[in-house]
Amino acid sequence: MGTQNAHLLIVDDDDRIRQLLKRFLMSKNYGVSTAKDAAEARELIDAIDFDLLIFDIMMPGEDGISLTKFVRNERNTPILLLTARGEANDRIEGLSAGADDYLPKPFEPEELALRIANILRRVKPAPVQTAMTFGDTTYDLTRDELKREGIIIRLTETEKSLMRELATRSGAVVTREELARKAGVAADRSIDVQVARLRRKLEPNSAEPMYLQTIRGQGYRLAPDI
């Protein structure tokens, strides 16, 4: 899901503000639900899996801080607090309760949209690349399959563990200790031997590796073509 297809919940006792924000955020291609108080918000939160919650702090009855604490005890849905109270202590209280961001009133709607987009980008998991190519060799992470020109190259269970860990973190350096732990081998020459065996199956020339790279003093990195 793209950030601008996310479903938001706005909780504010001011009907005019709720409707203004709803229209504005819907114009940004968000799905938007609203609630006039914490009680109505609790019912919606129990029924719907929202992508982000926007709470006004100063509401009659249960306030936004209390509602934030309630949500945090139940789930990790990101929360943005809106309030006319902009003092440092109030911001600290809101963030300590579990809010992800804090926007004092009055504010520009465009700033609200930017803060929402930033929060959603932070919490959205990065996509994991599942199909990779290494010259004439391909690796399918979902199947644990390494193929050269369509023919499956047999991997041992240790080699599968190494390849899976490197592929999941493609482009990043994985330490020898991390790889050894995942593969269930000692973090000494044993892991180097296993990596060398995997290289012979992956690389066109394992003596001059292009794809399974050694990062001196750090570990190994997988660098696929795609």
pLDDT in tens, 115-125: 999 999 888 76
Top-confidence residue, 29 or 226: 29
Domain with CATH 3.40.50.2300 in the chain: 3-123
* CB of 203 closer than 8 Å to CB of 220: no
Question: pLDDT tier at 2 (50, 70, 90 boundaries)?
Answer: very low
Summarize pLDDT for 46-59 with one digit per residue, the tens.
Answer: 999 999 999 999 89
Angstrom distance (rounded) from CA 35 to CA 113: 19
CA dist., res. 137 & res. 130, Å (int): 14
1 pLDDT more than 60: no
Question: 131-222 has which CATH code?
Answer: 1.10.10.10
For position 159, what pLDDT does the model report? 94
- The two tokens of residue 62 are 């249960």
Distances (CA, A) of 105 to 27, 90, 189: 21, 13, 60
| Structural tokens at position 224 | 């696929």
Q: Give the model's pLDDT for residue 186.
A: 78
Peptide linkage before 106 cis (omega within 30 of 0): yes
What are phi and psi for residue 30, nearest 5 degrees?
-90, 150
Give φ, ψ of 218 to 5 degrees.
-125, -55
**According to the model, what pLDDT value does residue 125 have?**
64
pLDDT at 136: 93
What is the C-alpha to C-alpha distance for residues 2 and 89, in angstroms, rounded to an integer?
34
Q: Give the confidence band of 198 by pLDDT, cuts at 50, 70, 90.
A: very high
pLDDT at residue 184 in the model: 84
- pLDDT tens, 38-48? 999 999 999 99
Q: Quick: pLDDT tens for 79-104.
A: 999 987 666 777 788 888 899 998 98
Looking at CATH, the fold of the domain delimited by 3-123 is given as: Rossmann fold (3.40.50)
Q: Which residue has the higher pLDDT, 34 or 168?
A: 34
Q: Where are the CATH 1.10.10.10 domain residues in the chain?
A: 131-222
